[in-house]
A and B are shown apart, each in its own frame.
Chain A
Amino acid sequence: MSLEQFKKRDATPGYIYFQAEEKPKNAWEAFKRVVRISIKGELFVGLWIVLREMITKGNSHTVQYPAEKLPIGPRYRAIHKLLRLLESENERCIGCGLCEKICIANCIRMDTRLDENGRKQITEYSINFGRCIFCGYCAEVCPELAIVHSGDYENASEQRAHYGLKEDMLTPLDTFRAKEQKEFPGFGALSENADSFVKKTPLAY
């Protein structure tokens, strides 16, 4: 890792330095400063700025939620999503149960069965968001990158128990086909140097 950024001790570009006025050295100078500020009427300068900004159009920093929403950081841990496999559209989750086991709030459950093709099928999957503490363990432990967090933070509910079922979390097929399924870069995602950790296994073929 490059240590360059730590060596640059002055502030990063974008900050503006200003030369502050010198502090009064004795009582006489302090007295002169009080008189000067009072006569200058700086209070009105400030009041004028407030009034000016108030009446200037398109100049507000207030986010008009819910009409307006701020973009969320990609690693933010909000309501979960179940992703699909890129190649086959199939559900990624294999029902290994690791998320169910690791979940610190014990709020994940899943139903599995043997399907007609002899594979393990996840017939239902639920997270009780009323209990979930959004720790991200499930996303981290998932070997298939199937359960991930999304940026959907709006999960108000009338009840404490608030279940997300598979149909709520699984990427809908049309979204998937429109290539709108997003990978999650947070906990559990592969790091950029993941390849370098892989050891080669001899092959007989």
Chain B
Amino acid sequence: MSEVIVNINGKECKAKEGEYILNIARANDIFIPALCYLTNCSPTLACRLCLVEIDGKRAYSCNAKAKDGMNVITDNEEIQKERRAIMEIYDLNHPLECGVCDQSGECELQNYTLEMGVDSQSYCIKDVHRPARHWGRIHYDPSLCIVCERCVTVCKDMIGEAALKTVPRGGDLVDKELKDTTPKDAYAMWNKLQKSIIGIASGEESLDCTQCGECTAVCPVGALVGTNFQYKSNAWELKKIPASNPHSSDCSLLYYDVKHTSIKDSQEKIYRVNSDFNYAPLHAAARYGYDFENVVEKKDEIAFAKVIDALQTKVDTIKFNSFITNEEALILQKLKEKYGYKLVNEDAYAFGEFLNSFSQTSGTSLYNGDLKKVRDSNFVISFGTHLKNDSPNSGYALNNALAMNKGAGLYFHPLGDKVVQNYSKNITQISHKVGAEEAIAYLILDLFGKDLPLHVSEYLQTFHSTVKKTVKQEVKETIKEIVKKVVVDEESKEEKEIEEEVSKVVSKMVDKEIEVDQNALFQIAGLPEDFQEILEKYLDKKDTFSLIGGEDLYTHPRSQNIAKLLGLIQKHTDFSVLLIPSKTNTLGVSLICDLDAQGGKYTLGYNEKADITLSALGNGDLDMPALNQQEGTFTSMNKRVVPTNVALSFKGYCLNDIANALGLEAEFTIDYTKELPTDKGFEQKEFDSLENEFDNSGNENRGYSLHVKDTTSDEVVENIETVDVLDGDIIYLSNPVHQFSPFTNKAHQLNEAGALYVSTEFLEAKGLNAGDMVKIYNQNASLVVAIKLDQMLEGKIAYLPTFDTKLDVKQFFADGFRFASVSIEGAK
């Protein structure tokens, strides 16, 4: 898009053509009041506060698009009158309860009422009774709602669930006579306001969505708040601690809001998590999974000595997972270099191997996609991931692309997902056979590849065949007919019958034999009959392509070849490729640590069960700080190294103490930030120099981006190898949407017992009910567990979670692949 210059209040502002004036003003530090607009979502024009004058005409800056040479005035007497009247109307019948309201102090209604100097009221209307609603983790008080529709908008355009909508308020209508005396926009706004209130789109009693809570974040007033936070603390007493989401690899910016626990207990406590909703949505686990800290009273010297002793005498392997910081990973790597410990980390190992193979064909050290690119694209493929559960933020990005860019998408996964289906009309779920991922990668190459290496295109050609097909075809033909006509002779006035020849066009259906190209990959991938047409429709006017790949691929029996195929996709198609690291810092660990495939005889576990265990969950031999008690950096899926700060103090030992006792020297863990390996793309930056915020124009000033390097590529890939078909019942390894690990399950708002999560279809097919106990078994393992209904799930494949440490589910997935074949039976 071309650069244009827009003049706002006399200031020349550079902008992209078509950008909204409001965003341009914000980027240039010009204030325009606005209540209903959300960055990255569609403008709803509910509030009309953003009224400006563009080239002498009134316009709403949140939906006026920039054109070169535009002259914008953001404030004049007329605009002020409108704004003041709008605020008066918003304040109409608004309960005077700022004194107890949870939003007080950060309420946009409060702020704008003061900004516009509303000190008296000139309007009145009868109020209707609007009782409060309890919607699980979300509390809605309609009497505080100003119907800005931000909640509805964010749920639709960002989260993708469209769980909320405006419903009739049932109140009095605005007196028509007021039309002449009320400023125009204020009157229009009032009319709309008076008609609606927020309700649940499905008409259910309670909110039947994934309860991510983003609506509570965007609500400018106290109408939507977290149930748990209600009346807990006045907002201004909370200290905001900038951090990064510790539970999943989006590592979104979040703030821990902390304060002393109570008058009697001055220990700090996290009261809630806050976000910068205009730029970074949070998923349920990030928002509600904040209290997973490990509380210890003091340093346990005996346990510490025992661990040091074990490390010096017995331990030959350190087993850990990727819920750690980059700095901790570096400490482990340094210990390995110094003492030769083996480092075992399953998820980072699989991901690292996958990345290596990927680079072999792509010619880049890392994938080239990120969430912003997904959001900016208009054709997105999700592949090999239970997207909404594995990485809700990737789901948000996909949905945002569909909603905002008139995009289309394909979602390949064996498990059906109603949420994904609801993203848009223009997304097709293809629930393929388990194991068909390799064929799908080839299919994508076949459909979108350009200048493919010869052996690949030749191989792809083998799937194509020409078949003869009879189709009914419409043919138009001209036929001549003789018609008899009666004419009156002009002269004789006599009627005469004459014959005339006329020609006319008729169409008729004929059977015709045509030659069509048949692609055997369609069948292998399990594509619907009309796939070709769907695709053609979807690809119309599409120019920006993104592909999201996930954990199913890294653990796939054919993962290395799939990685290489994805590398080719990045290189030879228009797709940018984003690979979702399976855990928070899987990418960081895989880059920093030199991991081993196999462990040795005596293992020290860090947050993993082993012979001797360090645990931030509080169930090991030595307590470690949880991620909300540590400072350090994560490497996010966006290939960004982002900082996180200490929300709560920890009184015990941390990994750095252990390393120091073993002979490394660093005062703080973050002393290692500047030592992160530069050959892997890290920078030599001090932790304290890293920023963690979005600026007014939405730029992500968070840490720094990893440097992606070019590598040598060879483009050699293997042919498809058929994977054993799984028979019987199939289970999948995945967590429900709000859980990621035992850490999220430690948080009091998320805590639950793990179960086998199933769809309604599954229950019907098996004749079981939610809550029943079932026995899951195969030749290696068996487990008795309750079943829970996942309303969003479709199809017969059920999934087992990893968040509940009481359930040993790994036994079914011995080779790491996320699918396993078992038998499931009802049990008493």
Contact = CB atoms under 8 A, between A and B. Distances in A.
Contacts of B100: 94-96, 119-120
A101 B262 contact: no
Given A97-B236, A118-B132, A204 B126 contact: yes
B99 A114 contact: no
Most buried by A among B100, B122, B125: B100
Contacts of A114: 230-232
B237 A97 contact: yes
Given A94-B99, A96-B99, A96-B104, A121 B231 contact: yes
Nearest to A126: B263
Contacts of B119: 199
Interface stretch (A17-25, A105-113, A129-137): A105-113
Contacts of B236: 97, 101
A101 B120 contact: no
Given A94-B99, A101-B237, A109 B231 contact: no
Contacts of B264: 124
Contacts of A113: 231-232
Most buried by A among B98, B234, B260, B263: B263
A100 B234 contact: yes
Nearest to B122: A202
A109 B234 CA distance: 11
Nearest to B175: A204
A100 B231 contact: no
A143 interface: yes
Interface string B120-150: 1111111000001000000000000000000
Nearest 8 pairs of A and B residues by beta carbon: A97-B234, A96-B99, A202-B124, A120-B100, A204-B124, A120-B231, A114-B231, A204-B126
A199 B120 contact: yes
A104 to B, nearest CB: 15
Contacts of A120: 100, 231
Given A118-B132, A120-B231, A121-B231, A109 B260 contact: yes
B278 interface: no
B741 interface: no
Contacts of A112: 231-234
Contacts of B231: 95, 112-114, 120-121
B230 A203 contact: no
Nearest to A93: B99
B574 to A, nearest CB: 53
Contacts of B237: 97, 100-101
Contacts of B122: 202
Contact of B234 (A96, A144, A199, A201): A96
Interface string B521-536: 0000000000000000
Interface in B95-117: 98-100, 104
A205 interface: yes
Contacts of A144: 99
A143 B124 CA distance: 25
Given A97-B237, A109-B260, A120-B231, A202 B123 contact: yes
Nearest to B260: A109
A146 to B, nearest CB: 10
Interface of A: 94-98, 100-101, 109-114, 118-121, 124-126, 143-144, 165, 199, 201-205
A201 B121 contact: yes
Contacts of B98: 96
23 contacts: A95-B100, A96-B98, A96-B99, A100-B237, A101-B236, A109-B260, A111-B262, A111-B263, A112-B231, A112-B232, A112-B233, A112-B234, A118-B132, A120-B100, A120-B231, A125-B263, A165-B263, A202-B121, A202-B122, A202-B123, A202-B124, A204-B125, A204-B126
A111 B262 CA distance: 6
A102 to B, nearest CB: 11
Nearest to B262: A111
A126 B264 CA distance: 10
B62 to A, nearest CB: 31
Nearest to A95: B100
B535 to A, nearest CB: 53
Contact of A205 (B99, B120, B126, B262): B126
Contacts of A204: 124-126, 172
A53 B100 CA distance: 62
A74 to B, nearest CB: 27
Contacts of B262: 111, 124
Interface string B734-776: 0000000000000000000000000000000000000000000
B89 to A, nearest CB: 12
A119 B132 CA distance: 12
Contacts of B125: 204
Contacts of B121: 201-202
B263 A109 contact: yes
Given A109-B260, A118-B132, A126-B263, A143 B230 contact: no
Interface string B497-511: 000000000000000
Nearest to B172: A204
A201 B120 contact: yes
A198 to B, nearest CB: 10
Contacts of A118: 132
A109 B237 CA distance: 10
Contact of A110 (B99, B132, B230, B263): B263
Nearest to A101: B236
A143 B132 contact: no
A101 B233 CA distance: 12
B380 to A, nearest CB: 42
Contacts of B233: 112
Interface string B648-662: 000000000000000
Contacts of B124: 201-204
A112 B259 CA distance: 13
Contacts of A205: 126
Contacts of B230: 114
A201 B123 CA distance: 8
Interface string B260-302: 1011100000000000000000000000000000000000000
Contacts of A119: 100
Interface string B233-252: 11011000000000000000
A119 B262 CA distance: 19
A64 B132 CA distance: 61
Given A143-B99, A204-B172, 16 more contacts: A94-B100, A95-B99, A95-B231, A96-B104, A100-B237, A109-B263, A111-B263, A112-B232, A112-B234, A114-B231, A121-B231, A124-B263, A126-B263, A199-B120, A202-B122, A204-B125
A68 B172 CA distance: 67
A109 B259 CA distance: 11
B740 to A, nearest CB: 29
A205 B128 CA distance: 12
A95 B263 CA distance: 14
B650 to A, nearest CB: 24
Nearest to A94: B99
B24 to A, nearest CB: 36
Nearest to A201: B121
Contacts of B132: 118
Contacts of B263: 109-111, 124-126, 165
Nearest to B230: A114
A121 B98 CA distance: 15
B280 to A, nearest CB: 28
Nearest to B264: A124
Interface string B210-242: 000000000000000000001111101100000
A92 to B, nearest CB: 11
Contacts of B99: 94-96, 98, 143-144
